[in-house]
Structure 1
């Protein structure tokens, strides 16, 4: 390379670059100033030390290497040891950023001696101090692949605590510097929330495995950036053409999946490790003589196009539905105007707003449609019918998109046949302290994933669907005026057999409520939405009236039970597993009870009984129970609030205030949700039945039915048809489990129901007799209540409180009668459903599978009134 060409690729003089802003984290990406910084890197070293112990080539060799890197579109270099100043100066000269590795004795049992751990921390501080916050530094890596045997030796907690200690040591020397740790699949279970961003070394040689594993990593790390710190292929064993081909698809996939970039291992085949030159591996883009391989050209081409190639992109219609959203819609429209996407339109539906929304929207080049106030679902349907795009993307009027939002959505649609795609929604950091607390409280918008890439629910503030699918399922149900429409739509799309995907990088910024009053009103409205959803989808709700998601809820602010499931790490035999993942055992159902809004009804009942103890002293037993129930919810609220990220909040007093407010919101949310649920009929004692109340059949605890068929049908098909009939009549139905000796259960209340079992008699020639036996059942809660009432009656007799005894006995009789009537209705429901087998089959049965309840469903729907 000539000196002239070297001068041409230098980006700026050092004195100019030194004044530039440090790279920082924003959402899922790294930022340099106001622009995203995508890492297009290579690893450099380690090299054989010279006579002075320097592990890097001479300055003139570094100059040649860095000039060639810059000429091939490489913008960052990863070193495994602190580089000399001349290397950092050369990087600065060529516009390269350096990821500085800080080595220490991570392959030894370094925690056995406290003085050794203290020396490691001191040495790391000295290494960072010596680098003097050089402007070429991208970040510091406080470790690289601590061996799985060492992590297993000490346990996850001790390793995590020590890494946190190293993180703080680096921050003490360079507060503005980014700090990360380079993990790998063998210890992927390490939980390191304090890191500024996450790095993994990943060597997977098929697109399917790489694609799935990147999605898994995104879900593991949450809302922070993901960098693949090493990818590569050995050309000595696989050939130089195979190396080039593999790196090309790996890099394209890495950027398309929303990573902030990658480092290719390595720049050169020259590699020294453990006192020896490594000559039986050739991972370099150039050989030991700095001659380029085909892989360098392949990497250069991908880096030139990154993060997105110039593919044909679908036309997308972006819909914004607003009711009195003038306070935030300007952010939405400014964000949409700044989208990095060549082929889209923006449709704003003004749903009868009475503020100055029209004046704001008229300033922007969008299609504006004004209607009378008809609710959120109608507004979204209006946008759907006006849309010209093959994809319709919805964003709320209190959210604004990441500039590449549509590009990541388009990639997800082009690379799959999903009917819909969703992504995360992140709270802006500058929304205020109350909004920060709300963002860490329950009741926010979350996504529910059944796998790392398949969703059961995506929130309405960030969802996109193929237009033809939305039209096929009939759009949004107008019954949902302010909330619940996205949940209903997702279920209807999934019911057609289609899938909904999720892309971790297709995110939007979403303002949270910035006042406690607005948060209270919002959560009450969600209680109403839950009641509407339960009325339409009773099979999705358990007996308590809570959603039974099949997937896992992802998001901040979830209130967690005190008794969390035990984390189990799959180490493999003798710690040999290459991918060591965490498996969490779900807490038992008792641990979930305090999470239910109805727990506060129990607290209210105990409070009333405690007050009545003034009239009858034995009721004082309710007081300690009241204290215990209050302590349980307070403890779980405080523990959940303690998980909030307060690193960017300054001052102990301020942090204490925010912790107290977040705890209060964790207590307030279920009360507000309970208020809305009860107000609209969603209670544990609600009735879901189409059966007739039969007084003559109150004592008919069992019933047998028969049906003759000239055609043979499998029992599974017949039971599915019975189940379908129950669900079509809004009866709560549940399938028996793998260990149950019953097939179906119908219940119209929480306290009682009926179960049934089916048997088939085969009479030859395809003829069969279908037998169906049903019987009444009481729930455990019903037995507890009856026992409690009778026990109190006995105590009342002992205390000569005969009036109270009469009242308690009367309540017992009324409750038992109520249960008998409900059992009669449930028996009637099962009987009618079985009789439907003799009718012509009208529609295929739903394939409904009910799972253990998740009691923390969260929704958010912009500025729509929740009344």
Structure 2
């Protein structure tokens, strides 16, 4: 178990983490909170945790210096938790958020420089009913405000929010990684959900921030069996880390010791359970050489400033060396000299100016591999690019595969704006594992499939070739797989002017696509995709998002209903009124220029907004009750029996009756009492008294 050097810090590395110069998969375990008088000796426990194979611990509070010192001694990274009253209506009580910000500010001021401290969770599982009550977009912005505060004070730390399936839509746009608490006891649903979460996370790493099984209701053997496949699945599905819940059966909630749940790897007396040995013995599957032969094809024209970075990244790919071909498509700069002199192992093919598709076809014809992997000269593939793609091709149903193309950390305001603007090369997903489109900068294909459809169409000189290629693959019955961890770093255009010129070029390419595939476009020239267009940003609630809450907000998995996944937010370092204004300008010009180049139209398409001209008038009140006597679900059932009807699954109300509407949420006051929060709209002035009478009558 390595002891971490204090000079290094954990950093994000695309969809993963890096510690120093090594990629690190987090093996984390939650620790505490413990009942009063029963807190174990941290120094002793941390040594046991380290010996069990863990490299990090997660707490649900902000620890003190002795705690952090003990973690450092044991070689453990610490993810602290900001504990604040987010289980109350903080939308109506701003002081709750203010108190949380003061707490975070003071604690970071005292402890942020500690070498063991790695990250901070600014919240954990805000209840779905309360998020719905306050408003999903508003709650998300509160979470983001805490993350922004933490980043301003301690930019070297990682910040996130521990989400859960009932509030998928609360993903903060500015978190360093996506974190989800998941409790699924069967492998197939767990695997499927991880694949979904990879796309909800967007460009950033995905961490399982809690996973466990209760041995009060299951056997220790069952717990061990579940951890056996959960650890392996999490690693194979390309998460950046896995967090076991929890280290000990000793824990408390709302000030009371919990005695009827036993999620620990050790029992209340500290005796290890079978699952502890499973965690200790787990070894991530080793990265083996690909089972297929790969030829990497890079097409370039005047790429002298870019080609070295691309080829150096290819040279460092795990599992290689790989046959690499550079197709020099009529360059007039030093591209050919750089490739031949600095990269003698690369096959260089020089062509007269022929166009991108023709160059790719020449490369495919000259390649020897049975898998043809294409990327561009402005891309730098992640070192595990090919070995992760190869996992997809082990499935005989997959004929082509690719992953995300991620923008590197921006260096200027212009780069930051371009990274957040629409119009970048994107994949389009039909499902969490199947693609409708993979961009040409990150697509690999079996040679037989490539040859059967005749390769790329030479009519496409600079763009559009990959769209046509993927459509023809699918029309021929071939399957395109999506691999979230097989990413390439893709440098965007260096200036706003260059980016807008690129968009004009895309419009010209779309004109060719319309001519060849008219059935795939609308009358205004917009592509008709069957799948979801990837935007790079995490999937999150915005002001006009339509959210599936389920009947009366009771769905276990609540998600956003949309077709276009959110774009990346502007990098925090460059976020300012100027950059936000520049992004708005680019967002206005990009579709305009692309549409004009495509079909000489200057139609302005305004974004859809829900009708907010006539907001509903509603009344709110609350009733404090003993939670042992009532629950939200039982009250809703009583109201249904009294003549109310459930509202629709995407509505913001729970119940309807004769024109009246009702929303019900609860907030926790203490371990025995809750507040029932009622929001009512309608014409009945006596509705509040009726509800109060009905509750008191029960």
Q: Do they fold alike, i.e. is TM over 0.5?
A: yes
Match of 1:666?
587
Measured in 2, the distance between the counterparts of 1:90 and 1:352 equals 61
Match of 2:598?
677
Match of 1:30?
17
Q: CA deviation at 1:199?
A: 1.0
Measured in 1, the distance between the counterparts of 2:498 and 2:104 equals 47
Quick check: 1:429 aligned with 2:429? no
Counterpart secondary structure, 1:578? coil
Measured in 1, the distance between the counterparts of 2:533 and 2:462 equals 22
From the superposition, tell whether residues 185 and 678 of structure 1 become closer, same or farther in structure 2 (CA, over 3 Å).
Answer: closer
Measured in 2, the distance between the counterparts of 1:79 and 1:209 equals 27
Quick check: 1:354 aligned with 2:332? yes
Q: CA deviation at 1:584?
A: 4.1
Match of 2:40?
57
The structure carrying a bigger helix percent of its residues is 1
Measured in 1, the distance between the counterparts of 2:364 and 2:249 equals 55
Quick check: 1:43 aligned with 2:30? yes
Which has the higher relative contact order, 1 or 2, with Cα contacts under 8 A spaced 6 or more apart?
2
Give the counterpart of 1:340 among 314, 318, 321: 318
Match of 1:647?
572
Measured in 2, the distance between the counterparts of 1:379 and 1:64 equals 63
Q: CA deviation at 1:39?
A: 0.8
Match of 1:385?
365
From the superposition, tell whether residues 118 and 527 of structure 1 become closer, same or farther in structure 2 (CA, over 3 Å).
Answer: closer
Quick check: 1:251 aligned with 2:243? no
From the superposition, tell whether residues 674 and 82 of structure 1 become closer, same or farther in structure 2 (CA, over 3 Å).
Answer: closer
Quick check: 1:196 aligned with 2:176? yes
RMSD: 3.0
Q: CA deviation at 1:249?
A: 2.0
Give the counterpart of 1:11 among 3, 19, 28: 3
Measured in 2, the distance between the counterparts of 1:311 and 1:271 equals 45
Match of 1:371?
351
Give the counterpart of 1:147 among 127, 144, 149: 127
Match of 1:464?
444
- Work out whether residues 677 and 683 of structure 1, in 8 Å CA contact, stay in contact via their aligned partners in 2: no
Measured in 1, the distance between the counterparts of 2:505 and 2:445 equals 25
From the superposition, tell whether residues 116 and 518 of structure 1 become closer, same or farther in structure 2 (CA, over 3 Å).
Answer: closer
Q: CA deviation at 1:173?
A: 4.3
Quick check: 1:455 aligned with 2:430? no
Quick check: 1:162 aligned with 2:142? yes
From the superposition, tell whether residues 473 and 242 of structure 1 become closer, same or farther in structure 2 (CA, over 3 Å).
Answer: farther
Match of 1:409?
389
- Work out whether residues 28 and 223 of structure 1, in 8 Å CA contact, stay in contact via their aligned partners in 2: yes
Measured in 2, the distance between the counterparts of 1:85 and 1:174 equals 17
- Work out whether residues 295 and 324 of structure 2, in 8 Å CA contact, stay in contact via their aligned partners in 1: yes
Match of 1:323?
301
Give the counterpart of 2:204 among 213, 216, 224: 224
From the superposition, tell whether residues 21 and 11 of structure 1 become closer, same or farther in structure 2 (CA, over 3 Å).
Answer: closer
Q: CA deviation at 1:371?
A: 3.1
Gaps of 5+ in 2: 604-698
From the superposition, tell whether residues 522 and 124 of structure 1 become closer, same or farther in structure 2 (CA, over 3 Å).
Answer: closer
- Work out whether residues 339 and 404 of structure 1, in 8 Å CA contact, stay in contact via their aligned partners in 2: yes
- Work out whether residues 258 and 504 of structure 1, in 8 Å CA contact, stay in contact via their aligned partners in 2: yes
Counterpart secondary structure, 2:87? coil
- Work out whether residues 317 and 383 of structure 2, in 8 Å CA contact, stay in contact via their aligned partners in 1: yes
Measured in 1, the distance between the counterparts of 2:2 and 2:571 equals 41
From the superposition, tell whether residues 28 and 122 of structure 1 become closer, same or farther in structure 2 (CA, over 3 Å).
Answer: same
From the superposition, tell whether residues 247 and 169 of structure 1 become closer, same or farther in structure 2 (CA, over 3 Å).
Answer: same
Give the counterpart of 2:154 among 147, 169, 174: 174
Match of 2:8?
21
Match of 1:569?
547
From the superposition, tell whether residues 518 and 571 of structure 1 become closer, same or farther in structure 2 (CA, over 3 Å).
Answer: closer
Match of 1:261?
241
From the superposition, tell whether residues 678 and 584 of structure 1 become closer, same or farther in structure 2 (CA, over 3 Å).
Answer: closer
Measured in 2, the distance between the counterparts of 1:519 and 1:165 equals 31
For these two proteins, the number of residue pairs brought into alignment is 597
Measured in 2, the distance between the counterparts of 1:167 and 1:191 equals 12
TM-score, normalised on structure 2? 0.79
What whole-Å deviation, never above 9, does each CA across 1:485-522 have from its counterpart, x for those lacking one?
11111111111222212222221111122234533443
Match of 1:99?
79
Bigger radius of gyration, 1 or 2?
A: 1
What whole-Å deviation, never above 9, does each CA across 1:73-114 have from its counterpart, x for those lacking one?
211111112223222112111221011112122223344433
Counterpart secondary structure, 1:182? strand
- Work out whether residues 336 and 400 of structure 1, in 8 Å CA contact, stay in contact via their aligned partners in 2: yes
Between 1:287-296 and 1:223-232, the stretch displaced more is: 287-296
From the superposition, tell whether residues 152 and 671 of structure 1 become closer, same or farther in structure 2 (CA, over 3 Å).
Answer: closer
TM-score, normalised on structure 1? 0.64
Give the counterpart of 2:48 among 55, 65, 68: 68
Q: CA deviation at 1:321?
A: 1.3
